[in-house]
Structure 1
């Protein structure tokens, strides 16, 4: 299908990625972001092989690899420091062609942003309406102006306005019961591993090491929605006081003002479709999931590559969006279910006996079982964005 005109609502990782993909196949694209500046200031992110492969399909994989730090060492521990399982990043690289990598979200966002011409990025503007009554065009109200588009991609996050209007009967995002505090250290820290998770009763602490020596850390635990702390670092130092090194050092290396705090919401009720007319949902707007598998951004990147590829091979937008929905909805919703279950067996597990049984099972599991659990979701091959590809 020939190139058309698209409006992407949301300038996060998924929105920028799909804009890159659409431009790569010859479409004109406008990305509309309500924030005054395009700057994803979140903490850090791990990208599995499926996310890296999607970035390769979009033409930005090499730039991301160069800025990221491979995760060869690490694994899952208990608060006292003992290991439940070890991660073999070299084995993953041999099997998939890449290890998991860690990168600041702001760096990934910048690399995606610079792959787009500045004139296609509109900031400080909010989409207030999307009119789907014309089967051949979509009218998008952006502030006081109206834009016509052949396609609208809703990448407007877990609280997507467009999703709510497409499916008014859907209950929307639900609170997972867990809250997360996270930050990037102010400077380099000495770490013995590239990546770690530590599971206690109802709590998790983890870190991702970056190429510049800094690290992202996150703390997840059960909490009523909306609870906030006047001194988050003091709260965490108290909560994780008897947990192993380097947790105290990571907290000590962090400025108080750098700590981000978000309640974790997800789409528990699966959507009946990711498309309606010429509007497609992407990323968290379509399948917001808990972070327990590290697959949220990777699934958004898969969405981006798949949508662009569908538009290359299909004869019209309607056929392309139907193919996108058929390809992406079953997989991403299955990953979301798996992430929810991983949380229940990981950070959300609170009963001492259940925690003990889980820990014993993990310690006794062969390394191939741990590797297989990662491969189940990471071993994904993107479709080609080249014309006439099948």
Structure 2
């Protein structure tokens, strides 16, 4: 029948490690199954907004990251089409708090994963463990997980954190994530002698293209680019040098230092990905999940893949982890997990439904806002460029990012 575990977490990315640590903090042991042979670096870095730092504080790892990454002073946006430029300070105005700054830092993916993993008990993460299927046998309160190497595990509780192409989400009956018709390219550059860039989140908008960069440290800079997907993307995405050359061609008319940053980035930091979203309306959350699946749920990108236009993907995964761990802690206190049966399964299912109801409106609003904002910012048509540069840009001045980052 395979190994027996109380809680199995599928996926060792940000969501998986965060929920494992959150559960550990409340005294619950879990096993994280990661398909890769080590912590994955794809994605280079994340913008961590105030809501993410609140979650990292709750997880007890924020202070292990803060000293090593620069705090961002503001956001700068510029349109090469109209010349409109806007600056948004992260300092809060008002009497007595003019020097209070909203916390925003750009954190390397590996540093975040390592900070989370360090706080877990030894043996919490099992690498080279790719899940290929799940099932529940009739009259059994356990969930069986089948691995690619032929082994199997028996779990009382399963939490899917296996990303956009989640095996757990598919088994639960959720529709597959769909492409939004846009592609992102990301990378990181290290200046050994340091750089002279201001501590800003810089965004530059063109015709059907959005690019920019964020200072991570005094030596490291993270950059990004999004555009409409092209037929050749699937063929070139695995070749970093071809991707780099494509990115350089796209930004040839953009101001300095965009091209120089892309040109200087090591190939191993460059990543290209098709952007996907799963459209599930707030009132449909939980309904699309098939009944009889037992005590199983999903978090992070497995539940709500979103475009990166608000910089909230990793932030929302961290929020998910804190919310779910609190719900699960209360549920397990009310049952005897050692005597596992259908009564216990129903309690956990109720807990997971509560978690989904708590998260549905916030996650749905951010997913929708990121999609709309990304569409407008890229300015693929003359009309959207007009809206972006002369209506959206002057009126909203990019404070939409701060609204969602603060309202957790």
Q: TM-score, normalised to structure 2's length?
A: 0.84
Cα shift readout 1:314-356 (whole Å, capped 9, x = no counterpart): 3342332121111112321221111111112112x22224313
2:368 to 324, 337, 340: 337
Deviation at 1:81, TM superposition (A): 9.5
Q: Any unmatched runs of 5+ in structure 2? A: 335-346
Q: Is the 8 A contact 2:39 2:110 kept in 1?
A: no
**Aligned counterparts, 1:24-173, within 5 A:** 24-79=25-80, 82-91=83-92, 98-133=102-137, 136-142=141-147, 143-167=149-173, 170-173=174-177
- From the superposition, tell whether residues 306 and 135 of structure 1 become closer, same or farther in structure 2 (CA, over 3 Å): farther
Deviation at 1:97, TM superposition (A): 6.7
1:219 to 199, 219, 225: 225
Runs of 4 or more off by more than 6 Å in structure 1? 92-97
Distance 1:85 1:361 in 2: 13
- From the superposition, tell whether residues 181 and 152 of structure 1 become closer, same or farther in structure 2 (CA, over 3 Å): same
Deviation at 1:30, TM superposition (A): 0.3
Deviation at 1:217, TM superposition (A): 0.7
**Aligned counterparts, 1:293-372, within 5 A:** 293-314=310-331, 315=334, 316-347=347-378, 349-365=379-395, 370-371=398-399
Q: Secondary structure at the match of 1:124?
A: coil
* Structure 1, 113-122 or 357-366: larger mean CA deviation: 357-366
Q: Is the 8 A contact 1:135 1:278 kept in 2?
A: no
Q: Secondary structure at the match of 1:70?
A: coil
Distance 2:303 2:243 in 1: 31
Distance 2:208 2:18 in 1: 35
Deviation at 1:90, TM superposition (A): 1.9
**Aligned counterparts, 1:207-286, within 5 A:** 207-224=213-230, 226-228=234-236, 231-270=242-281, 272-273=285-286, 276-286=293-303
- From the superposition, tell whether residues 121 and 286 of structure 1 become closer, same or farther in structure 2 (CA, over 3 Å): same
Distance 1:232 1:318 in 2: 44
1:202 to 205, 208, 228: 208
Deviation at 1:184, TM superposition (A): 0.5
Q: TM-score, normalised to structure 1's length?
A: 0.87
Q: Secondary structure at the match of 2:234?
A: coil
Distance 1:29 1:43 in 2: 27
Distance 2:158 2:118 in 1: 22
Deviation at 1:299, TM superposition (A): 0.9
Instruction: Tell me how many residue pairs correspond in the alignment.
Output: 372
- From the superposition, tell whether residues 12 and 311 of structure 1 become closer, same or farther in structure 2 (CA, over 3 Å): same
Distance 2:91 2:304 in 1: 30
* Structure 1, 330-339 or 232-241: larger mean CA deviation: 232-241
RMSD: 2.5
Distance 1:193 1:59 in 2: 26
Distance 1:100 1:45 in 2: 10
Q: Is the 8 A contact 2:90 2:101 kept in 1?
A: no
Q: Any unmatched runs of 5+ in structure 1? A: 382-390
Deviation at 1:248, TM superposition (A): 2.2
Which residue number corresponds to residue 406 of structure 2? 379
Distance 2:313 2:393 in 1: 27
Cα shift readout 1:336-386 (whole Å, capped 9, x = no counterpart): 111111112112x2222431332122453376xx43x234322245xxxxx
